[in-house]
Structure 1
Amino acid sequence: MELEDVLEEYRYHCLAKGFTEKTMRNKRQELTQMKTYLMEKRAIRDIESVTVHDMRAYIRQKQIAGLQPQSIVAMIKLISAFFNWCVSEEYLIENPMNKVEKPKVPKKVLKGFTPEDVNKMINSFTYKNYIEARNKALIAMLADCGLRAMEIRGLLSKNVKETTILINGKGNKERTVFISPVLKKILIRYERIKNQFIKEKNINSDRYFLTYLGTELSHVALYNVIKEAGYRADIEGKRISPHTFRHFYAVQTLSEGQMDVYSLSRILGHSDIATTQRYLTSMTDTQLLEKAISSSPLMNYGRGNALM
């Protein structure tokens, strides 16, 4: 079977599975590079001719080009998914990536936001106009609900209820997150200003957060809002991004003992609990100490009983 034909079939398979535009773009880019390498450097035209030696050589040339270990691991995962599909469709007997070694990824502890950082960022915006109110509500929702960038950008007005928000998450999987009273107070004022803004501009959109023109926020626009919040709050030495707010939500929820890791995994929309558990590695010693004390059997027993 020709390599090009199999790749084209796989592309339509992924489209039928409902992968996001970003995921499809990443798959298309990486698999196109792999195809070019196999055809031009290894003279391979048929999928059956691909061996573990070819794939090791491909990974090696990526490393020589300076690709970081974390990116190499992500690339291997993406390519492996393609070859696993080839095995399931009986185009191959075995996945040639099975014996390709993954590079070790250095563990980096993300220096996250503190509650004071987040409070300053939320309060750096006012209610004086629609954009200010929108930015305040957007930052507050990121911090209080742990949403992904794509989830908050695509959030529909009809899905923001009285106490819950219905999220259309990664892989088109729906889940529910909850609105705290503090966030609700901000959203009520935002919605009041938004309704007036929509009326004056004669806007008809189903998105909860809008641009000045009444359209959905772009990826760049969302990042600009967050960067502005970090700038106004004078946050330094930390990554100012949507994921850092998601990280903040996870770490605060775990460190305060408000939720177990299994429940948090569902709230965050993780398909694998191991992804959620990685947030535990970024908790500070102080947070871990406080968590240990609050969950201590003897401390909890001692609250209702005198211990000698």
Structure 2
Amino acid sequence: MKWQHALKDYQLYLKIERGLSKNSIDNYSRDVKKLISYLEKHDISINPVKISNEEIKQFIYEIAKEVNARSQSRIISGLRSFFSYLVFENYRKNNPLELIESPKIGRKLPDTLSEEEIDTIITAIDLSKPEGERNRAMLETLYGCGLRVSELVNLKISDLFFDEGFIKVTGKGDKERFVPIVDATQKYINIYRKHIRNHLKIQSGFEDTLFLNRRGKQLTRAMVFTIVKQLAEKIGLKKKISPHTFRHSFATHLLQNDADLRSIQLMLGHESITTTEIYVHVDKSHLTRVVEKYHPRK
């Protein structure tokens, strides 16, 4: 079995069997490609069925010189998944990464913005430009609904159920969820649709896409990152933020106002409550309030 053949089969498995998004598949594939490049660079002629624990350990030793512990851990996890697939398909009898431990890394807590910082960023948007109304509507949606940037750029007009107070979001693995949307966010989306989007020359295939660029096509994830970065620089914000920071802030502010973790999990689209629990670590004061409010010996 050749590496490229194995990688192609693995990508199909991730898409069809596991239902992962293109971004996730690309990330998993990138880890395998790093190993393939290493083998080619060092003239190591060995296929994915025969490669052993020793060759893998040498590869990890080499990459450890170039990337940090978190990146090493991700690559090891990606390769472990790839070889688990080969074992599952009976190409191999064992996983060469079974006995390889990932480097210990501290749990990275997400950066968040205060309500005042979010207001300052949104106020800094230049509404005299056509894209200003769009950018305001996008950031209000990111923060107001806790969306991932990929969910934002893929949002459709047909996903808006304003009369019911919800939007339909397609998340990781094409899993759909309904997220509440408050009146203020609805208002900014409607302003953008009525005064900006209606006057664009929309390209074929993008008629239902909510947020469009000046050429009438879907915005890229990179463009949203650029918009957020430029606004942060404009107000002199010292924190390093991204579109995801608005999602983290959404969850943290809900928790601070005594929302329960299960509700936050559903709105964020987390498969496991364990992922959502990271926000308890961001705001430990929530735990104190819970005990003070509900414990009989308060």
Residue deviations 1:200-250 (CA, integer Å, cap 9, x gap) = x466621111111211111221112212332343322x1220111111011
Q: Is the 8 A contact 1:148 1:246 kept in 2?
A: yes
Q: Which amino acid aligns with 1:90?
A: N
TM norm structure 2: 0.88
Counterpart mapping for 1:131-146 below 5 A: 131-146=131-146
| Match in the other structure for 1:248 | 249
Q: Is the 8 A contact 2:202 2:215 kept in 1?
A: no
CA separation of 1:158 and 1:270: change in aligned 2, threshold 3 A:
same
Between structure 1 and structure 2, the one with the greater Rg is 1
Q: Which amino acid aligns with 2:93?
A: I
Q: Is the 8 A contact 2:202 2:216 kept in 1?
A: no
Q: Which amino acid aligns with 2:140?
A: A
Q: Is the 8 A contact 1:255 1:291 kept in 2?
A: no
Q: Which whole-Å CA distance do the structure 2 matches of 1:184 and 1:24 have between them?
A: 33
Deviation at 1:196, TM superposition (A): 3.8
Q: Which amino acid aligns with 1:182?
A: A
| Match in the other structure for 2:219 | 217
- Higher mean alpha-carbon deviation, 178-187 vs 80-89, is at 178-187
Q: Which whole-Å CA distance do the structure 1 matches of 2:110 and 2:10 have between them?
A: 36
| Match in the other structure for 2:199 | 197
Q: Which amino acid aligns with 1:47?
A: P
Q: Is the 8 A contact 1:166 1:174 kept in 2?
A: yes
Q: Which whole-Å CA distance do the structure 2 matches of 1:133 and 1:40 have between them?
A: 50
Determine which of 180, 187, 207 is the counterpart of 2:209.
207
CA separation of 1:291 and 1:11: change in aligned 2, threshold 3 A:
closer
| Match in the other structure for 1:306 | none
Q: Is the 8 A contact 2:258 2:286 kept in 1?
A: no
| Match in the other structure for 1:103 | 103
> Please, what is the CA RMSD of the aligned residues?
2.5
Q: Which whole-Å CA distance do the structure 2 matches of 1:46 and 1:202 have between them?
A: 48
Give the gaps of 5 or more residues in structure 2: none
| Match in the other structure for 1:166 | 168
Please state whether the residue corresponding to 1:177 is helix, strand or coil. Answer: strand
| Match in the other structure for 2:289 | 293
- Higher mean alpha-carbon deviation, 153-162 vs 288-297, is at 288-297
Matched, 1:16 2:16: yes
Q: Which whole-Å CA distance do the structure 2 matches of 1:253 and 1:82 have between them?
A: 37
The count of aligned residue pairs is 293
Q: Which amino acid aligns with 2:167?
A: I
Q: Is the 8 A contact 1:142 1:245 kept in 2?
A: yes
| Match in the other structure for 1:26 | 27
Q: Which whole-Å CA distance do the structure 2 matches of 1:3 and 1:241 have between them?
A: 35
Q: Which whole-Å CA distance do the structure 2 matches of 1:235 and 1:148 have between them?
A: 22
Q: Is the 8 A contact 2:270 2:276 kept in 1?
A: yes
Deviation at 1:93, TM superposition (A): 1.5
Please state whether the residue corresponding to 2:161 is helix, strand or coil. Answer: coil
Q: Is the 8 A contact 1:226 1:240 kept in 2?
A: yes
Matched residues, percent identical? 24
Matched, 1:70 2:70: yes
Q: Which amino acid aligns with 1:296?
A: E
Q: Which whole-Å CA distance do the structure 1 matches of 2:6 and 2:153 have between them?
A: 34
Give the gaps of 5 or more residues in structure 1: 303-308
Q: Which whole-Å CA distance do the structure 1 matches of 2:291 and 2:133 have between them?
A: 39
Q: Which whole-Å CA distance do the structure 2 matches of 1:191 and 1:295 have between them?
A: 45
